[in-house]
Amino acid sequence: MIIVNSISNLRSIISAWKQKGLSVALVPTMGNLHAGHLKLVNIAKQKADKVVVSIFVNPTQFGVNEDFANYPRTEHEDQLKLAKENTDLLFLPSVTDIYTSNALTTVTVSGLSDIYCGAFRPGHFSGVATIVCKLFNLAQPDVAVFGLKDFQQFTVIQTMIRDFNFPIELIGVNTERESNGLAMSSRNNYLTNQEKQIAPQLYQSLCHAQAAILKGQQCFADIEQQALLCLKTAGFTTDYFTICCSDDLSPATKQDKNIVILAAAKLGKTRLIDNIYFSL
């Protein structure tokens, strides 16, 4: 596995690959890799000749009083995991490599960036869209692979690719879960042992809501309120629990056939997100 820190070296290697007619897949990450990330790498290997994984804890997607400084950084362990998966190139830039001190340009996907997680984390999705746009520019991928645990993030990136005419195939990969249903996440490391016993109830609430809809219950507001009450009783502080049309994340109506249920809630100091999507 090639490990690259500088933008110039990254571009040189990818240019050489492209001149040979090789396709490139990009898997952007913030490190602290788990089985979900490695699943993305394996999907990427099936879709392209060469796989580039980036590890970059992006400061612009963290808000005030969020966990940028304490975000888990495990570069050595991550390198070993990626090498074992036969990753072709690991891009490990510094903040100063990515952001110049006088940078004035950001990318914002209007509307989608302001709802759900965007409402509770102002500026977050602008930070996400900007860094992903930068990585697309640097790596020139033919394919980009993202997990669907953050369904809103995936939708933001999908919209940016469409609006900017990026010649990139975007692939979403189903959420990897612990045996108890909890979505794998780097932030699960923040949970106490007691909280780890409670955390799977977030996914359970999504499953119960899905079951109610599939049984024909059409008052989505009642389903949402019941879920919010159950989560509060379990000890969560809920940001939102919303039944949406998965095409554009607008509130779902009885006419919608493609559904995603989005949820975000805090358990202690840890903010968890999850979703479940399905078709009627």
- C-beta atoms surrounding 198 within 10 Å: 17
74 by Cβ neighbours in 10 Å (0-12 / 13-18 / 19+) ranks as: middle
- Beta bridge partner(s), residue 91: 4, 54
Quote the CA–CA distance of 114 and 120 in Å, as a whole number.
9
**Given the residues 37, 76, 124, 208, the one annotated as active site:** 37
Quote the CA–CA distance of 71 and 53 in Å, as a whole number.
19
Q: At what angle do helices 124-139 and 151-163 cross, to 10 degrees?
A: 50
Provide the token pair at 171.
């692939």
> What phi-psi label fits residue 21: left (phi over 0), alpha (psi between -120 and 50 degrees) or beta?
left
155-169 burial, b for 16+ CB within 10 Å, e for fewer? bbbbbbbeeeebebe
37 is catalytic: yes
State the catalytic residues: 37
